[in-house]
Amino acid sequence: MGLFSRFLSKLKGESTASALDWDELNAELLAADLGPLLTAKLIEEAKKIKGDDAGGSLREILKSHLSQKNRALAPAATPAVILVVGVNGVGKTTSVAKLAQHLKNQSQSLVLGAADTFRAAAVDQLVTWGARVGVDVITGKHEGEPASVAFDAVKRGSESGTDYVIIDTAGRLHTKSDLMAELGKIKRVIEKMAPVAEVLLVIDGTTGQNGLIQAKLFSEAVDVTGLIVTKLDGSARGGVALAIENQLDIPIKFIGTGEAIEDFALFESESYLDGLLGD
């Protein structure tokens, strides 16, 4: 059931919402990780709704808080370089594989770069995915320079004329400034070869308000152009992504809905709103 459906059905039964209904909606929005700022804005605007079409009005309000930026991958000269970043365990490597499959399904050619050189298992994980998807994975030495692996991958992509190069990176705590600075370095090194078309930040949809802090700090370190929100297959409603869109104006581009390669989709704002409103 959508976040707003109980509230809406109440509104339909009575003509106006009581103070208690507003408290309930407030609590539900907070529980869905929309955060205090966006929750307060939404309640304030929803209180002004008049007339019968509460659902339609609420939809317009929610829509006005989504990013207006393009959700499609930015058009770029080949190779289009995509850098995938985020904290540990959010689903970066899995999302790189899913995105590769998604693009391959559209007849795009790809090279992947395994720039998480801290953990040998991380490289193996991407190599295994690459074999399954059927794309080349460029690896480097264990504990080697992530920026040099990224550079090699982009070089390979340029030389072989592939459409996309996707770079997986090591998970890093957004609070560790040296690791955050390394992201800037990776980007600068890549850009000696080709421009970075997209920096996609992966956010775990079950994270809660910490996701907003992650997004703030990653954006300060590197120009984040879009979000991949993962783990939306559970009970998580990914409200934090909405808070990020609203407060930082970073559009959600893709969502992950499971561990399998096909559990991945473009973010569709209309169906997301359908879900929230319980259509």
Chain residues binding ligand GDP by CB under 6 A are 86, 88-94, 171, 230-231, 233, 256-259, 263
> Of Mg ion, ligand GDP, none, which one does residue 233 interact with (CB within 5 to 8 Å by kind)?
ligand GDP
Rank residues 180 and 276 by Cβ distance to Mg ion and give the closer one: 180
Q: Which is nearer to ligand GDP, 168 or 277 (CB)?
A: 168
Q: What is the DSSP string of 78-104?
A: SSEEEEEE-STTSSHHHHHHHHHHHHH
d(CA 101, CA 47): 44
Helix (H) or strand (E) holding 204: strand 196-204
Distance CA 43, CA 61 (A): 10
Partner whose footprint covers residue 140, from ligand GDP, Mg ion, none (CB < 5 to 8 Å by kind): none
Cα–Cα distance between 75 and 101 in angstroms, integer?
18
| Closest among 215, 208, 211, 198 to 249, alpha carbons compared | 215
Query: Whole-number minimum distance, CB 96 to Mg ion, in Å?
Result: 8
Which residue of the chain is nearest Mg ion when measured via CB? Answer: 93
Burial (CB count within 10 angstroms: exposed 0-12, middle 13-18, buried 19+), residue 11: buried
C-beta of 84: minimal distance to ligand GDP in Å?
9
Within 10 angstroms of residue 179's Cβ, the number of other Cβ atoms is: 16
Least separation in angstroms between CB 43 and ligand GDP? 30
Which of Mg ion, ligand GDP, none does residue 257 bind (CB under 5 to 8 Å by kind)?
ligand GDP
Stretch 87-126 residues interacting with Mg ion (CB under 5 A)? 92-93, 122
Query: Closer CB to ligand GDP, residue 62 or residue 242?
Result: 242
